[in-house]
Structure 1
Amino acid sequence: MIENILNQMTLEEQVSLLAGADFWTTVPVERLGIPKIKVTDGPNGARGAGSLVAGVKATCFPVAIALGATWNPELVKRMGVSLAGQAKSKGASVLLAPTVNIHRSGLNGRNFECYSEDPLLTASLAVAYIQGVQSGGVAATIKHFAGNESEIERQTMSSDIDERSLREIYLLPFEQAVKKAGVMAVMSSYNRLNGTYTSEHPWLLTDVLRKEWGFDGIVMSDWFGSHSTADTVNAGLDLEMPGPSRDRGEKLVKAVHDGEVKAETVRDAARRILTLLERVGALETAPDLAESSLDLPEDRALIRQIGAEGAVLLKNEGILPLARTSLDSIAVVGPNAGVARVMGGGSAQIAAHYTVSPLQGIRAALSDANSVHHAAGCSNNRLVEVFAGDIEVEYFTGRALEGTPVHTERADKGEFFWFDLPSPDLDPANFSARITGKFVPSDSGEHIFGMTNAGLAKLSIDGKLVVNGYDGWTRGDNYFGTANSEQRQGLELEAGRSYTLTIDYCSPADTADGIHLTAIRFGVEKALGDAAIDEAVARAADCDVALVFVGREGQWDSEGLDLPDMRLPGRQEELIEKVAAVNANTVVVLQTGGPVEMPWLDKVQAVLQIWYTGQELGNAVADVLFGDAEPGGRLPQTFPKSLSDNSAITGNPLVYPGQDGHVRYDEGVFVGYRHHDSHGVEPLFPFGFGLGYTQFSWGEAKASSTVLGEDGITVTVDVTNTGARKGADVVQLYVRPLASAVLRPEKELRAFAKLELAAGETATATLTVTLRDLSFFDVAAKAFRSEAGNYELLIAANAADIRSRIAIVNPAEWLGHVTDPLSEGHSHRSEPGHAQ
């Protein structure tokens, strides 16, 4: 069928398939019955074609690091199945997820959007996610291929990574997604890899992805992430996004006629696009692109379950779980207590059906909501609190706010991200808008107004210019680097008085290469000072227990920028210490997209890391705090004692954050726990760590053999729940080479199993080790090499808690070719001393 269609297509029609029609859809060829299909952002929901901050409501699932903390591929697969239904509700056939870049520095703005520092854990969860999504007839898109471990200058930065590290750490999740899950789409990253943009990297896209791994799906660019015509097509980039095309269309037709691109290369790419349409059923039935809101009770329950399974109990001096009957009063304080921080920022954002804050969840879990006393204490937002209230928006043609508005609409939030403008008469490159609203402060005193804009804007109060985002505008760190840094100005306001806010906005005149967006965000807040901390401390002093909800929010953990450090922003550390000084029963609940330093750790009774757990946040955290659910998570990323303990933070800017357009991965394969183990750097909390509410007893690990053969070795461990309640434990298997011709990590995760056991129940964890699990990548041989010799299998509860050791022998050297399937692999063995 596909070959027949291709035979009927003109060169121009084939070329038309190789770029988007607009931001979210592909180009149809109506003459031949080829429909357009829609793609939608994930990975913690399906947003559809709406803006990042509006649009049709969608189900908001936990972020990827929370999934990583579950160590539960089957649970992640169930989420993938649900996401396929969510994508279809938005008329989408392709979900732009999962994100599988590696937790390298601890500061990556998209750390929350990735699973783990470990490639095996990442790969296992990604495979499950993809299988779930694609079982529902929706294509998954694994991203970002490859080397996108930082947001700093990500559109131009070259990630300089040696091939061994690439193969062992950064490419493994992609390899498994292709070979095990049959992923249908891959998205290239913005950055360069060893000097070449990944969107035009023949070695990456053709030699490795297609020829070695056998990938037969499509490769698409990240949005505005392609930079050429012939180079991208020849390298293997099938789809330029978004549309309309900038580098293809007539330019590509001309490149074929000029001999820069072969006609067969275009035909091959068009074939892959048509194959994708066939796989998602679009060639049989043209998809309905209409969007609807799908809010299912089973999705709500699943989100709540994932939230608990991914919650990591880092410390507990016996205070958790809280006993409802013995508590007369609870202080719920902190900047993340009364606000539902349910997701990170950037392209992962969606308009959730609803959100439940921790304060709401705790009050709902108690029979007497009056026993809960709340105070924010301090703030932690990076940007001024967004304006909320009735807003009128008038749109004009041209950039001068002249003439009669071509469209007028109402809104309730001071943030606009215009993927699509509300009238066909408006040109994204040549329009303006006047935004008007009323603000009535509840308290007198200085209020801070803030605004950031992709485009030019001025904010006035009662006709007086207050924030100037027009004169001297320069690109900053908002909206993926297309907006200026937030401009702020203080103003004394009177309580109860109505003030008129007016924002005059015009679209960007900047036509430089890169991402082109039109967006604005403005807000106002009364700064919290000493009085707010004093109020929170007073509330805590009078209560039986103090729950302090701290962390970050989606303006810190966000695409487009990295974190400045690993400390809690604002005065949160001060708040924790002052609350702990007046209440001996202080519990800290953390919401971050990655590790934080904890200088206050010894002063509190318990620490619970809950990440960003989606729309059921408050209910999930209440389930864990009151013991209705087990905190089932284990850390997917090492928490260092200090930022300087991280392998990428060496003091050399070339290693991080980058210098002169290059960031050099000098640590090689020694990322995360591999670095801490091998260099003797004690972490604050090790990789794989997590406490629970029950106790487990492990039997001695047993191996099917001590000699590794073609079929591998199977290790079994009996685990018994010796406590009084149901719980879950994770058995982790690491491989340790006793000698090697190359420098290798002390140990590496090679298998894991999560067991959920009732009180008194015993179950067996079964773990398999293969020849490739013993290997390192031999660059000269272009193969994974398992040296003959002695190894240890380490059975552990986490990277620092080894429970059993099994000595094994690999009797003969083995080479695993890059083309081998992962499930069994062809063996290429030689006797010791006869290297092949």
Structure 2
Amino acid sequence: MTTKFDVEDVLSKLNNVEKVSLLAGTDWWHTAAIPKYNVPSIRVSDGPNGVRGTRFFNGIKAACFPCGTALAATWDAKLLHRAGVLMGEEAKAKGAHVILGPTINMQRSPLGGRGFESFSEDPVLSGIGAAALVNGIQETGVQATIKHFVCNDQEHNRNGVNVMITERALREIYLLPFQLVVRDSKPALFMSAYNKINGTHVSENPRILQDILRGEWGWSGCIMSDWWGTYSTTGAINAGLDLEMPGSTKWRGPMLIQAVSTGKVPQHILDKRARNVLNTVNRAADANVPENAEEKTADTPETAALLREIAGDSIVLMKNEGSVLPFRKDKKTFIVGPNAKVATFHGGGSASLAAYYAVTPFDGISAQLESVPSYTVGAYAHKDLPLLDLVLKTDKGERGFSFRAYNEPPTAEHREPADEITLTKTELLMMDYQSPNLKNELWWADVEGYMTAEEDCEFEFGLGVYGTANLYVDGKLVIDNTTKQTRGTMFFSCGTVEERGVVSLKKGQTYQLKIEFKSSPTCKLDKGDNVLFGPGAIRLGGAKIIDADEEIARAAEMAREADQVIICAGLNSDWEGEGADREIFGLPLYMNKLISTLTPLNPNTVVVIQSGTPVALPFLPTTPALLQAWYGGNETGNAIADVIFGKTNPSAKSPLSFPKRIEDNPAFLSFRSERGRVIYGEDIYIGYRWYEARNLPVLFPFGHGLSYTTFTISDLNVERIDQKIKVSVAVKNTGEVSGAEVVQVYIQQQNPSIRRPKKELKGFEKVFLEAGEEKKVEVEIEVKYAAALWDEVREAWVVEKDVYDVLVGNTSELTGELKATFEVERTEWWNGL
């Protein structure tokens, strides 16, 4: 698809039925084509940390990038631009013209289910980072979609919650990252949020979509809904929503045609919406991707190298008492923890995909050691039992299991499979599964595989389902998830809880596992307000039952005997994912007890935490070294090993504040939807703005991050050049190894007319220095962005006549040593960009 068409010429020839057909998807991932006018269908694809392609179910493998908070932790716009270029190339391999990302909602609370997808608690860091990513994507001809516009900051009741927020907070915090992305990268598409703002759903909110986005900011792209985030016909289209997704349409089609014919939707509005979609389709030719292209993989050494670099540069060295890190490769090493032998490389929901590969921390670390490390799990951290991907084999002894779909129930005689597939992942998301041989919405499937016990043990199986299902082991019913069902958080909160059953296994014996599944019409759960995902879903997990105290005691003995200890802990996609917010702030199950027991036993101990947002760290006082490793994508394990052994000198800075207690978080009392509303009572005081305003100590401040070398920042100079300020400093690497430092520039007004945060990040720059090297670093900031606050009376940004302090450092917890000023000589108001 390389030929463009004349949008105005085509629009003039289309009748209203054809125009309306353009305004909704035809399926999950494609827009409508009009062949007689050479208007092709284009393909969209998730998402925020990789390009999945067109299938959740049995999808083509793809590159998985570090999650959003990890990308932000690099504080490196140049690196994120390179990441965006790679994302664009990955999209082309999947035949996609549009990427549904990046996500730049704000982290009001660490408990947000999709917090890991977004960048930061700070709008400037979010906006600058996302703009770099978008520029990289769109440099390839692929189009980026900024989402979720706006205030989609929680999963609880996300489709119905009314976000009650002041105009000042909306402008200064929640809209600002989107505004910066429009200013700096002009993304092709916006995706509207599910929620309401001050009483009106965003997808039918003309003030948000028209007055601000298209009016004030002058943006002229295409606005699509989130999936099933369109709630009306006339309201949404008159408000500015161009494209309803996914298809087939619920709100457009005949209803929209009638609305136009009766004048409820003016003709010129229909034409505008169709024009915006046509412009997006036309622009897709720049990607040089054929219509309905075959999906391919693009797993190259160059891709692996860049993913490893990004992941390594995202890992934050939070603590390094006595310079215990980096570790030596020739020492006796003990690796422990539930995240060690599992590749926890992405969060759940739209961010999930089938990766080319995923390196576990154990494998990454082992590959760099000179001898084999000792290992034990220590404690479990799963919410749902671990998937059995690496355990199951087919009846032919190959990795995987069989999936056979039928038009008839198991009681039917001589039934034949309508479809038969060999799969490898025991989480089956079938929202996009189709088989031409299945005749009705109601159908049956047998999922069958074999596992061989590694030891005598009591083994617990877990089965979650959307639809109904039972698990049989060697023909014996172990789990009944059919007779009675209880709603859980699986499958975007559409599915059941994980029902569990226990089987006694004998070492060396092979067992047949068989799931009898019936599709979604048999589901007994109340449909509620959840998005329903097609034919159904299955999740099968399992783990040996362990005695936690015995396992911790065993780990303690191994820790004493080792020269160095690596504890791999954290969360996973069960705890952090789309459809539900986190239930706990701390680490799950016995993790805290394990870490608190081990860290005092060996002075050469590092704790590696994998989570998308902060967790409680009660063991911090006895922990010599701590790494925050996020969800690092394909190269997770290699990147962690690179940092632990010094191949990568950590240079990341935390994009989030780490509170001591969840009760200290500004959204603690107002995070969940209550009677359909959530009040953003903290107003503009989100993240470090809140902790500083209340003088609340935190475990780690926003912008914190250590290195294996040392730096000095000196010679601050602030120069006013027309409508900008140029901030310059000298940065010197005073240590013995090369490394990188982040210069962070904060602004505070000396005499504001209304209350303001103590300071706010307004710019930053990352600089790489050899040992002993010194460089001058400059950061330019427009005065109107450096100094402005939102004036709710004038409905405009205002830059007040005053003196403003410029504070520079390498963390938000500044010493005050580097401080200069600039002056604004008269008060001015402004709108737009």
TM norm structure 1: 0.94
Pairing of 1:155-174 with structure 2 (within 5 A) = 155-174=159-178
Instruction: Measure, in 1, the Cα distance between the counterparts of 2:365 and 2:214.
Output: 51
Instruction: Measure, in 2, the Cα distance between the counterparts of 1:733 and 1:557.
Output: 32
Following superposition, the deviation at residue 446 of structure 1 comes to 2.5
1:772 partnered with 2:785: yes
Q: Check whether the contact 2:76–2:129 (CA below 8 A) recurs between aligned residues.
A: yes
Report the counterpart of residue 397 of structure 2 in structure 1.
none
Count of residues paired in the alignment: 808
SS at match of 1:180: helix
Report the counterpart of residue 3 of structure 2 in structure 1.
none
Deviates more, 1:475-484 or 1:754-763: 475-484
Q: Deviations over 1:195-233 (max 9, x none)?
A: 221111111111111111111111111111111111111
Q: Check whether the contact 1:785–1:816 (CA below 8 A) recurs between aligned residues.
A: yes
Distance 1:333 1:813, change over 3 A: same
Instruction: Measure, in 2, the Cα distance between the counterparts of 1:401 and 1:18.
Output: 45
SS at match of 1:369: coil
The residue type equivalent to 2:693 in the other structure is: S
The residue type equivalent to 1:255 in the other structure is: A
Following superposition, the deviation at residue 700 of structure 1 comes to 3.1
Following superposition, the deviation at residue 531 of structure 1 comes to 3.0
Instruction: Measure, in 2, the Cα distance between the counterparts of 1:379 and 1:428.
Output: 41
Deviates more, 1:73-82 or 1:768-777: 768-777
Match of 1:800 among 805, 813, 819: 813
1:356 partnered with 2:359: yes
Following superposition, the deviation at residue 137 of structure 1 comes to 0.4
Q: Deviations over 1:501-541 (max 9, x none)?
A: 22222222377664121211012211232332233222211
Report the counterpart of residue 457 of structure 1 in structure 2.
469
Report the counterpart of residue 253 of structure 2 in structure 1.
249
Instruction: Measure, in 1, the Cα distance between the counterparts of 2:477 and 2:799.
Output: 69
Match of 2:498 among 476, 481, 486: 486
Report the counterpart of residue 71 of structure 1 in structure 2.
75
Report the counterpart of residue 32 of structure 1 in structure 2.
37
Distance 1:78 1:282, change over 3 A: closer
Report the counterpart of residue 790 of structure 1 in structure 2.
803
Report the counterpart of residue 735 of structure 1 in structure 2.
747
Deviates more, 1:558-567 or 1:119-128: 558-567
1:392 partnered with 2:407: no
1:596 partnered with 2:615: yes
Following superposition, the deviation at residue 420 of structure 1 comes to 3.1
Instruction: Measure, in 1, the Cα distance between the counterparts of 2:281 and 2:440.
Output: 29
Deviates more, 1:581-590 or 1:103-112: 581-590
Q: Check whether the contact 1:334–1:549 (CA below 8 A) recurs between aligned residues.
A: yes
SS at match of 2:163: strand
The residue type equivalent to 1:385 in the other structure is: P
Residue ranges of structure 1 left out of the alignment (5+ in a row): 822-836
Following superposition, the deviation at residue 776 of structure 1 comes to 0.8
1:105 partnered with 2:109: yes
Match of 1:212 among 207, 213, 216: 216
Following superposition, the deviation at residue 282 of structure 1 comes to 7.0
Instruction: Measure, in 2, the Cα distance between the counterparts of 1:514 and 1:28.
Output: 30
Match of 1:280 among 280, 284, 289: 284
Q: Check whether the contact 2:61–2:297 (CA below 8 A) recurs between aligned residues.
A: yes
Q: Check whether the contact 2:600–2:623 (CA below 8 A) recurs between aligned residues.
A: no
Distance 1:616 1:143, change over 3 A: same
1:144 partnered with 2:148: yes
Match of 2:824 among 784, 796, 810: 810
Instruction: Measure, in 2, the Cα distance between the counterparts of 1:154 and 1:527.
Output: 36
Distance 1:401 1:278, change over 3 A: farther
Following superposition, the deviation at residue 428 of structure 1 comes to 7.5
1:240 partnered with 2:244: yes
Distance 1:285 1:66, change over 3 A: closer
1:658 partnered with 2:651: no
Q: Deviations over 1:609-658 (max 9, x none)?
A: 111111111211111111111111001000011111111113xxxx1212
Pairing of 1:511-590 with structure 2 (within 5 A) = 514-517=530-533, 518-529=536-547, 530-590=549-609
Instruction: Measure, in 2, the Cα distance between the counterparts of 1:702 and 1:528.
Output: 60
Distance 1:241 1:400, change over 3 A: farther
SS at match of 1:88: helix
Following superposition, the deviation at residue 604 of structure 1 comes to 1.7
1:438 partnered with 2:442: no
Deviates more, 1:510-519 or 1:762-771: 510-519
Runs of 4+ in 1 over 4 A off after TM superposition: 282-286, 398-403, 510-514
Report the counterpart of residue 764 of structure 2 in structure 1.
752
Report the counterpart of residue 123 of structure 1 in structure 2.
127
Pairing of 1:36-55 with structure 2 (within 5 A) = 36-51=41-56, 54-55=58-59
1:614 partnered with 2:614: no
Residue ranges of structure 2 left out of the alignment (5+ in a row): 1-5, 395-400
SS at match of 1:759: coil
Distance 1:700 1:387, change over 3 A: same
Match of 2:690 among 670, 675, 685: 675
Instruction: Measure, in 1, the Cα distance between the counterparts of 2:729 and 2:768.
Output: 14
SS at match of 1:728: strand
Q: Deviations over 1:269-290 (max 9, x none)?
A: 1111110111121799853521
Instruction: Measure, in 1, the Cα distance between the counterparts of 2:455 and 2:550.
Output: 13
Distance 1:283 1:44, change over 3 A: closer
SS at match of 2:86: helix
Following superposition, the deviation at residue 252 of structure 1 comes to 1.0
Instruction: Measure, in 2, the Cα distance between the counterparts of 1:514 and 1:535.
Output: 44
Following superposition, the deviation at residue 375 of structure 1 comes to 1.4
Distance 1:333 1:383, change over 3 A: same
Report the counterpart of residue 373 of structure 1 in structure 2.
374
